[in-house]
């Protein structure tokens, strides 16, 4: 697999491809070679307005608004089939624009996106309310029921780290619920969203149900967030931008789902099998070069196992092979851009300066490509590297003395996305998991979210849930009907 064919690189509005109104474009770079892949149209505020108008038209009485759940399900299943038929194309585009191994994308991201479309297709004709027993109303019989109705036009704003998968989360749940969508993909990685737009048209969705408007966050993202025609914003990205979006949404009381960052703990309890956990613990640190929101970057280890875990992670790091995302031997690709590489290297420098012990890594490669070595420190939970999300392949082993200490450290963070517990002592695991302030816990494993399970965080990791039934309901509102007779 070499350079994939490119999808259309214009804006997709009301089922048609068009340049931005001012003719602006931005470059998409292959971060593993630092060469330009292509120029993509950059939506101006007037383009955003056209996209929202198209989505509103379909929602407020267009063909889409009259479709049954069963018809929406059929379209979503057709879309899943088309994504499946184009799986290699998606994986190749994502590997190119994100710099992550093609094999990982083909094995994990794309199949999970397909699963997500299929899963939510299954819900589209099963969105039900309830009949609620209520007292008579002023001496007359009263029959009351609830129904779940689509929330409206959803603005979906996505990050660059797993574009195929994360876009499917937002799109599948919103379309199953009957919403229409304006999607603003990340400027570093818009290509898979543009391929998806082609397939949405091919699947037969009415024009305007999905509009894709690549563009800069501060221009297209801001115009979309502030647009009065948007009913809900579904955002995945950094807490800093999440805060801007929540503020903008509050002006017109838009609903928001915020999937933000993480600083997730992996808790290695006494007696854990270090040889068994090491490869997965390392994957949690180094997969996608650490650019994973659920990365288990604080490795909390019982003091009796610190040397053994440090040695095991050093060996795992040594076994990583950095390089061309399309080389089957590559296990780690590049970081997304020079800014991210420099940011990660600044954190590494801060770790060393603040007295953490470097176990392995700590260097970046000279270009081309933004490659950073898998890096492991031993340190404490108060260091900058243990407090801030680095979004690079950097983990910190932090010793603890007993279970209470482990829980205190695990919760001593402003984030609360995920946690991993390594132990086969089930009573201890259960007593521990119920005290973790996080949205998801893995015990003796770590992996990508499953579409059937809700996904989201507490504290600075976000508001609301995507995926699962909760993710469907997040795209609906409840309406109560009282019939008095």
Distance CA 406, CA 411 (A): 9
Specify the stretch interacting with ligand NAD by CB under 6 A; choose among 126-134, 180-188, 304-312, 376-384.
Answer: 180-188
Task: Indicate which single residue of 97, 104, 109, 187 sits in contact with ligand NAD (rule: CB under 6 A).
Answer: 187
Annotated active-site residue in 97, 259, 389, 466: 259
Q: How far is the CB of 382 from ligand NAD (least distance, A)?
A: 21
Distances in Å between the alpha carbon of 308 and those of 34, 271, 305? 38, 12, 5
- Residue 222 or 344: the one with the smaller Cβ distance to ligand NAD is 222
Sign of the C-alpha dihedral computed for residues 101, 168, 249 and 464 taken in this order: negative
In this structure, are strands 462-463 and 255-259 parallel, antiparallel, or unpaired? Answer: antiparallel
The reply to whether 104 sits near ligand NAD by the rule CB under 6 A is no
Among 205, 377, 391, 422, binds ligand NAD (CB under 6 A): 391
Q: Given candidates 62, 111, 159, 229, which one binds ligand NAD under the rule CB under 6 A?
A: 159
Is residue 88 part of the annotated active site? The answer reads: no
In the complex with ligand NAD, which residue's Cβ is closer, 64 or 160? 160
- Each residue 278-317 as x (binds ligand NAD by CB under 6 A) or -, in order, gives ---------------x------------------------
* 171 contributes a contact to ligand NAD by CB under 6 A: no
- Confirm or reject binding of residue 99 to ligand NAD (CB under 6 A): no
Cα gap 394→345, rounded to integer Å: 10
Among 225, 289, 381, 460, binds ligand NAD (CB under 6 A): 225
Tell me the per-residue interface mask from 442 to 471 with ligand NAD, x by CB under 6 A, - otherwise.
---------------x----x---------
What minimum distance in Å lies between the beta carbon of 457 and ligand NAD? 6
221 lines the binding site for ligand NAD (CB under 6 A): yes
Catalytic pick among 293, 373, 389, 466: 293
Binding span for ligand NAD by CB under 6 A among 15-23, 74-82, 119-127, 258-266: 258-266
User: By C-beta, is 70 or 218 nearer to ligand NAD?
Assistant: 218
Size of the site for ligand NAD (CB under 6 A): 30
Q: How does strand 180-184 pair with strand 153-157?
A: parallel
- Cα atoms found within 13 Å of the Cα of residue 311, Cβ hemisphere only: 6
Could you give the CA distance from residue 391 to residue 343 in angstroms, rounded to a whole number?
Answer: 9
Q: Is residue 237 a contact point for ligand NAD (CB under 6 A)?
A: yes
Verify whether residue 38 is a known catalytic residue.
no
**Nearest residue (CB) to ligand NAD, 114 versus 155:** 155
* Spatial CB neighbours of 404, under 8 Å, sequence gap ≥ 6: none
**Interacting residue with ligand NAD among 70, 134, 218, 318 (CB under 6 A):** 218
Residue 244 interacts with ligand NAD (CB under 6 A): yes or no:
yes
Q: Which of residues 214, 217, 323, 362 is near ligand NAD by CB under 6 A?
A: 217
Burial class (CB in 10 A: 0-12, 13-18, 19+), 65: middle
The residues in 393-432 that bind ligand NAD, with binding defined as CB under 6 A, are 417
Closest approach of ligand NAD to the CB of residue 224, in Å? 7
> Is 483 among the residues that bind ligand NAD (CB under 6 A)?
no
CB of 482 to ligand NAD, least distance (A): 39
133 Cβ contact partners less than 8 Å away, ≥ 6 residues apart: none
Annotated active-site positions, please? 259, 293
Binding residues vs ligand NAD (CB under 6 A): 157-161, 166, 184, 186-187, 217-218, 221-222, 225, 236-238, 241, 244-245, 259-262, 293, 389, 391, 417, 457, 462
């Amino acid at each position: 697999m070499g350079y994939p064919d490119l999808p259309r690189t214009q804006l997709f509005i009301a089922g048609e491809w068009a340049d931005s109104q001012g003719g602006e474009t931005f470059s998409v770079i292959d971060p593993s070679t630092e060469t330009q892949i292509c120029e993509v149209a950059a939506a101006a505020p007037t383009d955003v307005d056209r996209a929202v108008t198209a989505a509103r038209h379909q929602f407020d009485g267009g063909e889409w608004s009259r479709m049954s759940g069963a018809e929406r399900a059929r379209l979503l299943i057709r879309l899943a089939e088309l994504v499946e038929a184009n799986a290699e194309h998606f994986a190749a585009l994502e590997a190119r624009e994100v710099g992550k191994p093609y094999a990982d994308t083909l094995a994990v991201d794309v199949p999970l996106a397909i699963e997500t479309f299929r899963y939510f297709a299954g819900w589209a004709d099963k969105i039900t309310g309830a009949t609620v027993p209520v007292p008579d109303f002023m001496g007359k019989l009263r029959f009351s029921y609830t129904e779940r109705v689509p929330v409206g036009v959803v603005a979906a704003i996505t990050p660059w780290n797993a574009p195929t998968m994360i876009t499917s989360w937002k799109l599948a749940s919103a379309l199953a619920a009957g919403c229409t969508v304006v999607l603003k993909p990340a400027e570093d990685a818009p290509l898979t969203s543009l391929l998806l737009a082609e397939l949405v048209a091919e699947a037969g969705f009415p024009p305007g149900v999905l509009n894709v408007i690549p563009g800069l966050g501060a221009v297209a993202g801001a115009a979309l967030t502030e647009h009065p025609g948007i009913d809900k914003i579904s955002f995945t990205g950094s807490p800093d931008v999440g805060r801007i979006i929540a503020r903008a949404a509050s002006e017109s009381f838009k609903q928001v789902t915020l999937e933000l960052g993480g600083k997730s703990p992996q808790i290695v309890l006494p007696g854990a099998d270090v040889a068994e956990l090491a490869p997965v613990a390392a994957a949690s640190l180094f997969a996608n070069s650490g650019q994973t929101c659920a990365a288990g970057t604080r490795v909390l280890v019982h003091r009796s196992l610190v040397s053994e875990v440090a040695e095991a992670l050093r060996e795992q790091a040594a076994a990583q092979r950095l390089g061309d995302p399309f080389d089957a031997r590559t296990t780690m690709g590049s970081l997304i851009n020079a800014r991210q590489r420099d940011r990660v290297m600044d954190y590494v420098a801060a770790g060393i300066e603040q007295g953490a012990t470097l176990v392995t890594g700590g260097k970046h490669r000279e270009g081309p490509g933004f490659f950073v070595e898998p890096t492991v420190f031993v340190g404490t939970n108060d260091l900058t590297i243990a407090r801030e999300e680095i979004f690079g392949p950097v983990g910190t082993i932090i010793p603890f003395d007993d279970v209470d200490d482990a829980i205190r450290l695990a919760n001593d963070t402003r984030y609360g996305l995920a946690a991993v517990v390594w132990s086969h002592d089930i009573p201890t695991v259960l007593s521990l998991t119920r005290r973790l302030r996080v949205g998801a816990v893995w015990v003796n494993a770590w992996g990508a979210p499953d579409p059937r399970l809700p996904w989201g965080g507490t504290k600075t990791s976000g508001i609301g849930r995507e995926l699962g039934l909760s993710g469907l309901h997040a795209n609906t509102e409840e309406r109560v009907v009282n019939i008095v007779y």
